[in-house]
């Protein structure tokens, strides 16, 4: 059975890599960033789901589901994410994959 989502929903996938030996520092930073990012992201219209994960293998991912491409693109302009959080991660060696892709939703479980 598939879950009903709005027509035009998109999945946004952002990824970064880091030296696996720095896992503890990255994991702690990403947990700390949630303190200011969660409230800011929750204020944006159109958010359906958000997931953040950090792998000891040296990778982090943020996957979000939005009701439209327009709403997903808000993340490009969210200063706390695009400047502050990114800057903190780059300062300790994080390397971001670009571009961040918004995928039109095809199906879900």
pLDDT beyond 70 at 1:
no
Fold of 10-104: Alpha-Beta Plaits (3.30.70)
Per-chain mean pLDDT for the chain: 94
Q: Are 86 and 69 in contact (CB under 8 A)?
A: no
- Would residue 64 be called left, alpha or beta, if left means φ above 0 and alpha means ψ between -120 and 50 degrees? beta
**Nearest-angstrom CA–CA distance, 67 and 8:** 6
Q: Residue range 61-82: average pLDDT?
A: 96
- Say how far apart CA 11 and CA 77 lie, in whole Å: 17
pLDDT at residue 2, rounded to an integer: 56
Q: pTM for the full model?
A: 0.90
**Above 90 in pLDDT, residue 79?**
yes
| pLDDT above 80: residue 92 | yes
Q: Quick one: which of 8, 9, 5, 12 has its CA closest to 102?
A: 12
Domain boundaries, given as residue ranges, for the chain? 10-104
Confidence of residue 53 (pLDDT cuts 50, 70, 90): very high
Portion of the chain with pLDDT greater than 90, in percent: 89
Q: Which two tokens stand for residue 105?
A: 């939703």
- Residue 46 scores a pLDDT above 50: yes
């Amino acid at each position: 059975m598939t879950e009903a989502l709005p027509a035009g929903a998109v999945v946004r996938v952002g990824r970064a890599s880091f030296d696996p030996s720095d896992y503890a520092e990255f994991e702690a930073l990403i947990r700390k960033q949630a303190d200011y990012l969660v409230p800011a992201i929750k204020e944006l219209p159109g958010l359906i789901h958000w997931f953040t994960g950090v792998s000891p293998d040296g990778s982090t991912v943020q996957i979000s589901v939005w009701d439209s491409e327009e709403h997903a693109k808000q993340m490009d302009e969210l200063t706390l994410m695009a400047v502050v959080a990114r800057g903190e991660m780059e300062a300790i060696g994080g390397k971001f994959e670009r571009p961040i892709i918004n995928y039109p939703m095809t199906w879900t479980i």
